Amino acid sequence: MANETTLQKTVTAQREALKELLLESMKEVSEACAKKIDNQQALEEILADEMTRAAYCKYLWVLDKHACQLTNNVKRDGLKEEQIGRDRAARPYMQRALKGEDYYLSDAYISRNRKRPSLTAIKAIYDADGQVNGYLGADFDLRELPNTADKYKNEKNWQQVKGDPAIRSGLFSQQRVESAMDAQIDDVLSVVKELILARGIFHAKLHFSSSRATLWRVDNPFDYQILNIDELSDPDICLAFRHQKYFEKATVNVNSIKKVFKQFKDLRFADETIYLRAASLNVVNGMVGLNFSCDGSHYMHYEEFLEKSMEFWFGG
């Protein structure tokens, strides 16, 4: 895949590992089914025997060469009946098999009945002359599959995301209205900086237009706290947070935090039409998030953010 992201690479690696993991058993079962392709009961017995060993499989089934079902769906505790004759030719996972691919693991899809992410593996069944005479299918629930991929690592590349077209279309008919945070922005930024450096905040999002901040603490990362402008403009609020050293897992240089916040302020006031509505800094992954009045969003590493001048954002 061209320009594949780290996340996409992780998905690809996981799929390839699963495909390899399932190949041997799919091949063995398809060969056993080839000898009994005209005997529904015998096919279901083969599949039932395999289900006693198939730790990850949800259903096994066999189709004829036209993708009509020859067996019921065989599950771990019996049969899902009334499946004989079911036409699967139009299902996305059958397209490559019907075009001649020997073995294929589908992209994930939402299952019809349980509405959960699932995968289907398809293996061709061959007759004595080497011609396709049917297909072995195996359904898997993503929750039940082993995790064979490396831990996904978040990317630090600059990403730009366009927002609501309705907002962009009316951009030049609006202008910034001074918020309560705008009027006290230096005090607010000083307080938030103190919370990061000495009070255990590792992620702070400043909502300039609505005069509030959303904060995440290192000692309670699964919750967040919302401070209003009265709290943000009062240095006493720092006393509500336990004193602790700058987070040991932080990657943002201490001296850069002030520079990042200054640039937030500059972007807020640089233009009355295109201005910063909200901005965030995460000192652990080093990422800055920006949301502008045009509803466009940007995500980039703080070092890259500090390299960009006002001319970059607004032109000469």
Q: Which long-range contacts (CB under 8 A, 24 or more apart) does 51-54 make?
A: 51/75, 51/76, 52/76, 53/25, 54/25, 54/138
**Is residue 97 classed as helix, strand or coil in its secondary structure?**
helix
Nearest-angstrom CA–CA distance, 314 and 263: 13
pLDDT band at 1 (very low <50, low <70, confident <90, very high): very low
Q: Do the Cβ atoms of 212 and 226 come closer than 8 Å?
A: yes
Q: What is the DSSP string of 126-139?
A: E-TTS-EEEEEEEE
CA atoms within 13 Å, Cβ hemisphere of 278? 16
Predicted pLDDT at 152:
47
Burial of 275 (0-12, 13-18, 19+ CB in 10 A): buried
Distance separating alpha carbons of residues 37 and 303, to the nearest angstrom = 63
What's the CA gap between 254 and 247, in Å, rounded?
10
Torsion angles phi and psi, residue 150, rounded to 5: -65, 155
**Residue 83's closest CA among 101, 98, 100, 67?**
67
Residue 6 pLDDT level (bands cut at 50, 70, 90): low
- Residues 232, 226: Cα–Cα separation, whole Å: 10
pLDDT at 158: 61
Query: pTM for the whole thing?
Result: 0.65
Contact 117, 108 (CB under 8 A): yes
Is the predicted pLDDT of residue 316 greater than 70, yes or no?
no
pLDDT single digits (tens) 269-286: 988 888 999 999 999 999
What digits encode the pLDDT tens for the residues 141-195?
Answer: 887 776 654 554 555 666 665 655 655 555 556 778 899 999 999 999 999 999 9
Residue 225 carries which side chain, given as an amino acid letter? Q
Contacts of 2 (CB under 8 A, 6+ apart): none
Calpha distance 202→228 (Å, rounded): 18
Residues 71/73/76/77 CA torsion (nearest 10 deg): -90
pLDDT at 117 over 60: yes
pLDDT tens digit sequence for 118-148: 889 999 999 999 999 999 999 988 877 766 5
Q: How far is CA 200 from the centre of its chain?
A: 27
pLDDT given at position 81: 82
Closest CA to 150 of 2, 1, 7, 5: 7
Determine the distance from the C-alpha atom of residue 228 to the mean position of all C-alpha atoms in its chain, rounded to a whole number.
Answer: 31
Separation between Cα atoms, residue 316 and residue 304, nearest integer Å: 19
Residue 122 neighbours by CB distance under 10 Å: 26
pLDDT of 17-65, one tens digit each?
Answer: 788 888 888 999 999 999 999 999 999 999 999 998 877 788 999 999 9
Asked if residue 135 lies in contact with residue 122, where contact means CB atoms within 8 angstroms, the answer is yes
